Structure 1
Amino acid sequence: MLRLCLSFAIISLALSHLCLISPHQRSTMAGVNAAGANDCLRLKEDCGGEAPVTPTQGFLAGSKQNFTFQKNLNHYNAKAPGFFSLGIGMAGEMKFEPLIKNIPDTNSSSLSLYTVEVMLPKKPMAHAVIQVVYMTNNPNAPKAFYQCADIATVETQKL
């Protein structure tokens, strides 16, 4: 029984998670209110391996917006804290212009929400991708976790 409990604990710790709440991430949000949600586990740089989807949210190009993400499982490293970053790019290109380069990781609990204000680029984009990255800087966790959302940015006169 002890071996089973230890195995479960090790598996749970290995699966840190990052969820993109708003705008809505590419995958579903099943279990997002529980630490270790499978839909918040994305380890590949290319948006966690999730395929692009048609944007369902539009924003005004050049506007300030609040985006919210969740540290679904805490992997804080007190000796060398990690960080979160946010970027935007064109769908299919996987090149992201930084919107915010470094939001320091803190010892906040699992399921902590982070809301950040960003300035979107002035150039309209019919299909843009927002990417959030959690760099754990923790030798006992995966190096990074990724989440993406597909959005559109439009000019004022097209709203």
Structure 2
Amino acid sequence: MKILLLASVFAVGYCHICLLSPPQRGNMTGINTPGANDCFLTTAPCGGRQPARDATFYGRGENITVTFMKNLDHYNKTNPGKFVISLSERQTVAPKVLATVPDGGEPSLHIYTVKVRAPMEPPNTMHFLQVTYEPNNNQAPKAFYQCADVGFEPRH
């Protein structure tokens, strides 16, 4: 019983992130419940999830709306963390940062919407868009990751 209680307290103390649009790799089972397993990925990049077969395509240079959820809050009032939206070719190690959003202590299940500009990349080059939650809290993992597979095509 003590182990079960300790495990539940430990799990509730962690923050999670879900990428809603473009849709995250994997599934979104139970994401409307704080602490969902599909929102608890701590391995860089992309939470360790492999590229999906399907990608979301955008026009080169187009405005993209990125929507993500703080599935479980772990706000650090003394030294707040942040969310980082980045983009990388699938083979590249270091993603390019597109936007940074401060963690303002919003509650679990809070939805964030951020507009970023699609790059003018050559068409048919596959990328991953990654949202990282860096809670800056010693009682949580260093970062949480979610990725969506995206591509860019010419728009006429």
Structure 1 length normalisation: TM-score? 0.90
Which residue of 1 is the match for residue 8 of structure 2? 8
Matches within 5 A, 1:1-159: 4-14=4-14, 16-100=15-99, 102-126=100-124, 127-157=126-156
Q: Aligned residue pairs: how many?
A: 155
5+ residue gaps, structure 1: none
Q: CA deviation at 1:53?
A: 1.5
Residues 52 and 94 (structure 1), Cα distance of their counterparts in 2 relative to 1, 3 Å cut:
farther
Q: CA deviation at 1:156?
A: 1.3
Amino acid at match of 1:135: E
Q: CA deviation at 1:4?
A: 4.2
Q: Deviations over 1:58-104 (max 9, x none)?
A: 1011011111011111010000000001011111323211111x210
Aligned residues: CA RMSD: 1.6
Aligned to 1:52, what secondary structure does the other structure show? coil
- Looking at structure 2, the residues matched to 119 and 137 of structure 1 have their Cα atoms a distance apart, in angstroms, of 27
Q: Deviations over 1:86-123 (max 9, x none)?
A: 011111323211111x2100111101110000011112
Structure 2 length normalisation: TM-score? 0.92
Aligned to 2:66, what secondary structure does the other structure show? strand
Q: Deviations over 1:99-155 (max 9, x none)?
A: 11x210011110111000001111234211100010110111111001100011111
Amino acid at match of 2:47: G
Kept in 2: contact 1:90–1:125 (CA 8 A): no
- Looking at structure 1, the residues matched to 19 and 123 of structure 2 have their Cα atoms a distance apart, in angstroms, of 20
Residues 94 and 125 (structure 1), Cα distance of their counterparts in 2 relative to 1, 3 Å cut:
farther
Q: CA deviation at 1:7?
A: 3.7
The worse-fitting range, judged by mean Cα deviation, of 124-133 and 147-156 is 124-133
Amino acid at match of 2:115: E
Kept in 2: contact 1:77–1:137 (CA 8 A): yes
Q: % of aligned pairs identical?
A: 39
- Looking at structure 2, the residues matched to 123 and 112 of structure 1 have their Cα atoms a distance apart, in angstroms, of 32
- Looking at structure 2, the residues matched to 94 and 37 of structure 1 have their Cα atoms a distance apart, in angstroms, of 28
